[in-house]
Chain A
Amino acid sequence: MLATVIQLIINGLLLGGIYALISIGLTLIFGVLEIINFAHGEFLMLGMYASYWLFQLFGVDPYLSLLMVIPTFFLVGLAVQRIIIQPIINAPPLNQIFATVGLSLVLQNVALFFWKADYRTVRTAYSTLCLKTGGLMISLPRLVAFVLAIAMISALLMFLKRTYTGKAIRALAQEKRAAMLMGINVYRMYQIAFGIGIACVGAAGAILIPIYYAFPTVGALFVLIAFVVVILGGYNSLVGALIGGLIIGLVEAFSGFFLSPHLKEAVYFVIFILILLFRPTGLFGRG
């Protein structure tokens, strides 16, 4: 029984790492631009496809493809911000929702048009590799995803704390008007923050392709959990997103095993509702 519990903890933490990974970009965009990006899942889908095609066409390993996916998605993010997000940045929330939901529908259908509804995955030598230690199993690609999630969060925190751009983005997130008065180029910073957010979710897609499958609506499977994690973590806290992801992962692993696999989603949504009721700012959020 002890071995089972330890295995469940491992499974839960590894799953939580994946949830944290997909929530990083969403947290950043939500925290800085205060826009709910409903197309977040579709950018994850595009990241998966990007990595998939790099592997299929040029034999690039998915992890190596990060070197190409991250800069490309950063540029895509800049462009999307300039064309779609910038015009609605001061619009009522309802308009912002329409714009990003519209973007998500467009991206889904573009993917359906070009790549059909087929399920695509990358079969590498390590795709189903497992580390076995004392009867415990640790899936290698999941471990990599976990480590990279922590690495990405650490790097982003360093960037936000140490560099001028990072500090400016934080200032903007805290108090937009004061930041403007201090001479910070608000629109430039918005653009960079959005670009980094999209680069993060693109990277998440590339990291997940050895484990999951790319298809046009795959984003929908993940995006709901990403929202739960972001709200649980406190809307704009990267550490919060990590802890939130790990909590949801553990809750899923344990409720799935001890209650029923059928109920695991229900259990974390109950937790979600409780958080909203008793701590609406999330675990790490500012009031």
Chain B
Amino acid sequence: MRKSITGFLVTSLLVFVLCIPPAVIAAQKVRIGALFPFSGPLALLGQETFNGATIAADMVNDKGGVWGKQIEWVKGDGVDPKKAMTECERLISVQGLRLIFGTYSSSRSYAASEVAERNKVIYWEQGAIADPITERGLKYLFRTCPRASQFGIMAADFANEVIAPKLGIDPKQMKVAIMFEDSLYGTTVGGNAAKHALKLGMKVVATDSYSHKTVDLSPVAMRFKARKPDVIIATSYLEDGLLFWRQAKEADLNVKAFIGTGACHGMPDWAKTFGDEANYIFNIDPAIGINPNVLSPKTKAVLKEFQERFNKKFGHLPATHASLGFVGARVLFEEVLPRAASLDPEAVREAALKVDIPKGGTIFGFGVKFAPPVHPAAGQNLLAHPALMQWQEQRMWVAYPLDFGVRDPLLPLPTWEQRAKGVTRFVK
């Protein structure tokens, strides 16, 4: 009997504690939802992106927080798009959150932001690059990072502005071959690269798509070899990108420049697999190793602090994903929330639309200005753009846009025969 009374008391106490409305807790803290794939196949980079964001929160909290309150993250695990939706729903209805920060993965972002919009809750996206995310006219969605189409467009621009003059070819005579894996990512980037190259008057001699699950890309290498392009623009995931470069060597396919657009060609695996054969390849991604002259003095200090704090907390220097998380969070905590005075979504929206950070104001070098609701890309940071890098000495160096560059691009790409003789080995 005694036992059951104690049990009853404990249970009722528990019920009582659980019934305290989340708003009561919220009064002391600024609670932000963090929706990322924290488990499953994308967990590694999802966690890394969130780690970057936590540094932005730490930096604000150490200075007294926002409105004198500390920022607190409430995590939601978006293992897959469906789970991202239910987790988003949970963060909003059970936890009572009014701002969701996420998501790194485009498919998860696309799904979860619908839930936020339905609940009139702000969805702050900082790492998912698929164009359609900001093409739905959502009112409460904001995205700080660049879009996939910009990667393809930048590849064509670089071929036109830099490669053609450096090689002494008239851009109108330059032959471009475009290859891309056939999911949404590849078709968006590759399609835009082809469209933009044609607009610039270049000769697009091949646009070949393929399934990234294929175990043989020799047909692509053979087709390109038959059409003799000067430049290849490629959008690949890791396994297919590595397979193609191997089979390009087997086919003795030689071109004057090879531009990758994110994913495969910017990963450490690229250099790990090919060693010196990775050198001379271009890749497009948001980059933090840009020319420091682009950054404002304040941003330079922020970058330094970010790198030091990140290294101290996680034991390595931040790369692209962590930096995307950091930039997204910093814009939110430093520029938007102080102007909004509360987490009321309408107030946050208005504050976000007033943000106007010039070039050099983020660690990526780009500024921030969100497209208004009437814009076809409503909520998109219109000033965001990636950068183009080249592998030299098995490391990536920014080369474009020109004022962002730290090293001159090396052209042309040596032939396989020259590579065998060690041309791509950088001897010091």
10 A–B contact pairs at CB < 8 A? A11-B222, A128-B250, A137-B250, A212-B243, A215-B239, A220-B213, A221-B214, A256-B216, A261-B217, A262-B210
Partner of A265, one of B208, B211, B222: B211
Using known A-B contacts A222-B215, A262-B211, determine if residue A213 contacts B249 with beta carbons closer than 8 Å.
no
B59 at the interface (CB under 8 A from A): no
Residues of B34-55 contacting chain A, CB below 8 A: 41, 44
Sort A-B residue pairs by CB-CB distance and give the 8 closest, nearest first: A256-B219, A261-B210, A139-B250, A262-B209, A11-B218, A257-B219, A261-B219, A261-B220
User: Is there an interface contact between A7 and B222, defined as CB atoms closer than 8 Å?
Assistant: yes
Q: How far is the CB of B121 from chain A (nearest CB, A)?
A: 32
Q: Is B223 an interface residue (CB 8 A)?
A: yes
Which residues from 199 to 255 on chain B have a C-beta closer than 8 Å to any C-beta of chain A? Answer: 208-211, 213-220, 222-223, 226, 238-239, 242-243, 246, 249-252
Q: How many A-B residue pairs have CB under 8 A?
A: 83
In the complex, what's the smallest C-beta–C-beta distance from B205 to chain A, in angstroms? 14
Residues in A neighbouring B223, C-beta threshold 8 A: 256-257, 261
Per-position binary interface string of chain A over residues 207-225, scored 1 when its CB falls under 8 Å from any chain B CB and 0 otherwise? 0000111010000111001
Q: CB within 8 Å of B: which of A84-136? A: 117-119, 121, 123, 128, 130, 132
Question: Are A119 and B239 in touch, CB under 8 angstroms?
Answer: yes
- Chain B residues with CB under 8 Å of A7's CB are 222, 251
Cβ proximity bits A10-32 to B, threshold 8 Å, 1 near / 0 not: 01000100100000000000000
Bound-complex Cα distance A212 to B222 (A): 19
Interface mask (A255-285 → B, CB under 8 Å = 1, otherwise 0): 1110011101100000000000000000000
Contact B242 A252 (CB under 8 A): no
Q: Which of B209, B213, B222, B249 contacts A4 (CB 8 A)?
A: B222
Q: Verify A262–B208 contact, CB threshold 8 A.
A: yes
Interface residues of A, dominant DSSP: helix
B238 pairs with A253, CB closer than 8 A: no
A8 in complex: contacting residue of B208, B217, B222, B273, CB < 8 Å: B222
| Interface check B182, CB cutoff 8 A | yes
8 Å CB contacts to B: which residues of A3-60? 4, 7-8, 11, 15, 18
- A125-156 contacts to B, CB under 8 A, are 128, 130, 132, 137, 139, 142
Report the Cα distance A211→B208, complex, angstroms.
23
Report how far A164 CA is from B214 CA in the complex, Å: 41
Q: Which residues of B contact A211 (CB under 8 A)?
A: 246
Most buried by B among A8, A11, A225, A253: A11
A11 to B225, CA, bound (A): 14
- Of the candidates A15, A220, A262, the one whose C-beta lies within 8 Å of that of B216 is A15
Closest Cβ neighbor of A142 among chain B residues: B250
Bound Cα distance A11, B250 (Å) = 10
Give every chain B residue within 8 A of A8 (Cβ-Cβ). 222
- Return chain A residues, CB-CB under 8 Å to B252: 130, 132, 137
Residues of A within 8 A of B44 (CB): 117
Q: A253-B218, A255-B219 are in contact. List 8 more A-B contacts (CB 8 A).
A: A7-B222, A137-B252, A142-B250, A213-B239, A256-B219, A257-B223, A261-B219, A262-B209
Task: Label chain B's interface by main secondary structure.
Answer: helix
Name A262's closest neighbour in chain B (CB-CB): B209
Interface of B with A (CB < 8 Å)? 41, 44, 182, 208-211, 213-220, 222-223, 226, 238-239, 242-243, 246, 249-252, 269, 273, 275
In the assembled complex, the Cα of A139 lies from the Cα of B41 at a distance in Å of 33
Q: How far is the CA of A261 from the CA of B216 in the complex (A)?
A: 9
Closest-CB distance, A96 to chain B (whole angstroms)? 26
B213:A221 contact, CB within 8 angstroms: yes
Residue of A nearest to B277 (CB): A128
Name the residue on A nearest B219 (C-beta): A256
Q: For the complex, give the distance between the alpha carbons of A222 and B216 in Å.
A: 11
Q: Are A225 and B275 in contact (CB under 8 A)?
A: no
Q: Which of B211, B213, B246, B269 contacts A128 (CB 8 A)?
A: B246
A139 to B182, CA, bound (A): 27
Docked-complex contact B250 and A212, CB < 8 angstroms = no
With both beta carbons as reference points, the residue of chain B lying nearest to A138 in the complex is identified as B250
Task: List B contacts of A265 (CB < 8 A).
Answer: 211, 214
In contact, A119 and B238 (Cβ under 8 angstroms): yes
The answer to whether B219 touches A130 (Cβ under 8 A) is no
Task: Name the residue among A4, A15, A132, A256 with the largest chain B CB count within 10 angstroms.
Answer: A256
Q: Cβ of A130: which chain B residues have Cβ within 8 Å of it?
A: 249-250, 252
Q: How far is the CA of A256 from the CA of B210 in the complex (A)?
A: 9
Residues of A within 8 A of B251 (CB): 7, 137
CB of B273 within 8 A of CB of A257, answer no
CA separation between A220 and B223, bound complex, in Å? 27
Q: In the assembled complex, which residues on chain B have CB atoms less than 8 Å from the CB atom of A215?
A: 239
Q: A212 to chain B: which residues have CB within 8 Å?
A: 215, 243
Whether B41 pairs with A117 at a CB distance below 8 angstroms is: yes
Instruction: Please give, as numbers and ranges, the residues of chain B lying within 8 Å of A128 by CB-CB distance.
Output: 246, 249-250
B89 CB, nearest partner CB in chain A, Å: 28
Closest CB-CB distance, B403 to chain A, in whole Å?
35
Q: How far is the CB of A73 from chain B (nearest CB, A)?
A: 21
- Residues of A with C-beta under 8 A to B275: 123
Name the A residues within 8 Å of B217 (CB-CB): 261
A44 CB to closest chain B CB (Å) equals 11
Shortest CB distance A244–B (Å): 16
CA distance A118 to B239 in the complex (A): 10
Residues of chain B contacted by A225 (CB below 8 angstroms): 215
Q: Is the CB of B213 within 8 A of A213?
A: no
Q: Are A257's CB and B222's CB within 8 A?
A: yes
Once bound together, how far apart are the Cα atoms of A252 and B218, in whole Å? Answer: 10
Closest to B249 in A: A128
Interface residue from B219, B238, B249 paired with A252 (Cβ < 8 Å): B219
In the complex, A139 Cα to B249 Cα: how many Å? Answer: 10
Give the distance to chain A from B419, nearest Cβ to Cβ, in Å. Answer: 10
Closest CB of chain A to B245's CB: distance in Å?
Answer: 9
Interface 1/0 per residue, A69-87 and B, CB below 8 Å = 0000000000000000000
Chain B's nearest CB lies how many Å from the CB of A113? Answer: 12
Q: Which residues of A lie under 8 Å from residue B239 when comparing CB positions?
A: 119, 213, 215, 221
Contacts A119-B238, A121-B273, A137-B251 known; A253 to B213 CB distance under 8 Å?
no
Tell me, in angstroms, the Cα distance from A124 to B226 when the chains sit together: 30
Chain A hits for B246, CB < 8 A: 128, 211
- A143 shortest CB reach to chain B, Å: 11
B182, B217, B220: most-surrounded residue (chain A CB, <10 A): B220
